Amino acid sequence: MRLDAKAKHPTPAPGLPGSANTAQNQQSGSYFLHAGQVHVSSQPQSIVLILGSCVAVCLWDPVKAIGGATHYLLPSWDGRGTASPRYGTVAIETLLQRLSEAGAKREQLVAKVFGGGCLFDSMRGNEARKESLGERNVETAMAILAKEHIPVVSAEVGKERGQRIVFQTATGESLVANL
């Protein structure tokens, strides 16, 4: 597998100096995607994510070999405060926009969805709220992808353990390890 570390839209980790984090990722050929971030690459690159109740939506254009991912914490932005990729509705739209800017064609995109787990009993739904946070995060991803007519070719969601995902931007290949 060939990896090239040049990222078109690097997004530094919150709290870390952007240049140091980006330089580290470029040297290793991989990009660690923190919660609340979006990353797209027009060069072959690995995107690494650690998920629990958060969801990762990985999209790629197999014809142009351009891919990217988002890692979000909450299903939807309620309009208060700042719109941020911490929210699925904002994150997926941002991912689609950045893929388009990188040269991907929306009609060629395919998706993989990961995460949405329920790792702790206290996070499970109750009588008032039937679904866990993870389930609501997954529903948001699936609804937006269906609305955008982007086929989901793989979904590994709703586990009772965390997941470590390695997503290849050029091929769409993914490696999933349960934690």
For the chain, give the mean pLDDT: 84
More confident residue, 37 or 179: 37
Q: Could you tell me the two tokens for 110?
A: 């395919």
Structural domains of the chain sorted by starting position, each given as residue range(s) with its CATH number in brackets: 18-178 (3.30.1330.200)
| Band (71; pLDDT cuts 50, 70, 90) | very high
Count of other CB atoms within 10 angstroms of residue 96: 23
Residues tagged active-site: 54
Average pLDDT over residues 61-87: 96
> Which two three-digit tokens encode residue 166?
């390695």
- For residues 88 and 75, the answer to whether their CB atoms sit within 8 Å is yes
Angle between helix 133-147 and helix 88-101 axes, rounded to 10 deg? 40
Q: What single string gives the DSSP state of each residue in 52-96?
A: SSSEEEEEEETTTTEEEEEEESBS---SSS---TTBHHHHHHHHH
User: How far is the C-alpha of 101 from the C-alpha of 127, rounded, in Å?
Assistant: 44
Q: For 91-116, what is each residue's pLDDT tens digit?
A: 999 999 999 999 999 999 999 999 99
Q: Does the pLDDT at position 178 exceed 60?
A: yes
pLDDT in tens, 142-167: 999 999 999 999 999 998 889 999 99
For residue 68, which of 16, 20, 9 has the smallest C-alpha distance? 9
pLDDT at 30: 94
pLDDT digits (tens, 9 = 90+) for 20-41: 344 445 445 899 999 999 999 9
Q: Cβ contacts of residue 100 below 8 Å, gap of 6+?
A: 106
Q: Note the pLDDT of residue 4.
A: 32
